[in-house]
Amino acid sequence: MDYLKMRPAEIRDAVERNVPLIMAAGSVEYHGPHLPIATDYLIAATIIKRIEERCVCVVAPPLPFAPTMFWAAGSNDGEFDFDPEALRIFAKEILRGFVKIGFRRIYVMQHHQGVDGTPYLAIKLAASEVVREVGKSWGEGWGRVPPEKMPNPNIFSLIRVESIDAFSTYSDGSERIPIGHGSKGETQLMLAGYPETVRMEELDAIKDRLPAWLEDSHLGTTEEGIRWIEFCAAGWVKELADVRLKPGVK
């Protein structure tokens, strides 16, 4: 369900049924001449699209901008270096709003720079600040109350900021999903999700001056991209289908 297309009664019903809410977060950054400028966000959006097909969830508007430090290119290529403090404040207002509306299972699928990167940390901080506000609103000593009497017994998982494969199950020694900036990994994920935006022939124009991170981009295949998209989506579907709160719990 697209949040922006939902009517008030539908939103109230989703809250009452404890339907999870999920949003994509990425960046607007150069990923090579063959990929669109919002590749990070579009990869997360592709996985969310697959998730929405398989389980009930509300899809919130995305957080497409993030700090890039102009690492790969600059403004001339359409890239944004978004202030991390602005991202934190913006994310906090959005998350605070969804909590006030009543959502109790909020997820941000963040795909840019990894879990140690500035964008992830900025959104994670925003989420923790909102959770702190909620806890403080219950007064002092609320942790002594039996879980079943708490307004929300899962307060510390109220908002989760996670990577695209956060809930996927890897077997021992198995291959991990290849990412790499604009490389084979992200190229094949884009071929799987938004093939109409990919122009592999554009790599030929700079083949004599390819940065190291683009050298294997031509190895990406649609089939491999689909496999990894499905792998990531399956883990998220399992997580979102795990209703840990009773419907109607506020």
What whole-number distance in Å separates Cα of residue 141 and Cα of residue 161?
Answer: 27
Which is nearest to 22 in space by CA: 236, 238, 181, 250?
236
Overall number of domains in the chain: 1
> pLDDT of the chain along its 250 residues, tens only?
999 999 999 999 999 999 999 999 999 999 999 999 999 999 999 999 999 999 999 999 999 999 999 999 999 999 999 999 999 999 999 999 999 999 999 999 999 999 999 999 999 999 999 999 999 999 999 989 898 888 888 899 999 999 999 999 998 888 899 999 999 999 999 999 999 999 999 999 888 889 999 999 999 999 999 999 999 999 999 999 975 444 433 3
Question: What domain range includes position 164?
Answer: 3-179+223-240
DSSP string, 205-240: GGGGG--GGGTTGGG--HHHHHHHHHHHHHHHHHHH
Predicted structure pTM score: 0.94
Q: Which residues contact 102 (CB under 8 A, 6 or more apart)?
A: 12, 15, 250
Residue 207 lies in a domain: no
Residue 126 lies in a domain: yes
Q: Which two tokens stand for residue 56?
A: 């009930």
Q: CA 1, 130, 91: angle at the middle one, nearest 5?
A: 60
Q: Which two tokens stand for residue 12?
A: 């109230």
Phi and psi at 170, nearest 5°, equal -100, 135
> What CATH number has the domain bearing residue 75?
3.40.50.10310
Residue 97 lies in a domain: yes
Residue 56 lies in a domain: yes
- Please give the radius of gyration of the chain, using alpha carbons only, rounded to the nearest integer: 19
Residue 185 lies in a domain: no
Q: Which residues contact 62 (CB under 8 A, 6 or more apart)?
A: 23, 24, 25, 26, 41, 44, 45
Q: Which two tokens stand for residue 206?
A: 């700079």
Residue 105 lies in a domain: yes
Residue 191 lies in a domain: no
Residue 216 lies in a domain: no
Q: Which two tokens stand for residue 120?
A: 């992830």
Task: State the DSSP code for 145.
Answer: S
Coil vs helix vs strand at 84: helix
